[in-house]
Amino acid sequence: MFRFVSKGFEVAGYVIQYACITHCVFEYVGDFVVCNGSSMEPTLYTNNVLVSERISTRLHKVHRGDIIIAKSPSNPSQNICKRIVGLPGDRIVISHPFNYNPFRNISAVKSYVTRGNLEEEVDTIIDEENKKQIKKKTSAKEIIVPRGHVWIEGDNSENSSDSRSYGPIPQGLIQSRAVCRLWPLSDIKLLL
């Protein structure tokens, strides 16, 4: 009986040690992440499985081009996967409009197709009211990334909610850095 109890404590000790080591590895060294959404296409797709490491992000050793996993600034219960585009002190110029298409009006498209002279096409498509909107929507905006923050963007700029929407994010929101794509097996790739 005593031997049976002794063996039970020994097994329980191994299970607790294994659980502690596993927790420490996933909390402080690295983790597995499943991608969700299309903001990082064509680099990453929905249901890709990544291996991420946490050491460099805890030491604030991130670089431009790194793919990171961070807490969403707009929904802290959700993680996001984006690429670092700007570091503290970098000047970021946003010069293109979001989902702006000057040819969204069908009559303007028909006029554009039937006219032969570029000046006439522009005059037909852009009247005075639209000129003000286009200038407002396409004017470049310069932002300097503040200390302790990074500028992140998705690779699929047409379908990404990123720093262009909510500004630079604090480095404290960065959880880990993607190292490798593990799944699907046919697309295993280092992401460094």
Q: In this structure, are residues 82 and 162 in contact, taking their beta carbons and an 8 Å threshold?
A: yes
Q: Provide the greatest CA pair distance for the chain.
A: 98
| Residues classed as catalytic | 39, 82
Question: CA 160 to CA 149: how far, in whole Å?
Answer: 19
Outline where the chain has alpha helix (H).
2-24, 55-58, 106-114, 118-125, 128-138, 163-166
Question: CA 54 to CA 50: how far, in whole Å?
Answer: 13
Q: In this structure, are residues 52 and 30 in contact, taking their beta carbons and an 8 Å threshold?
A: yes
Q: In this structure, are residues 90 and 151 in contact, taking their beta carbons and an 8 Å threshold?
A: yes
Long-range interactions of 22-27: CB distance < 8 A, separation 24+: 27/54
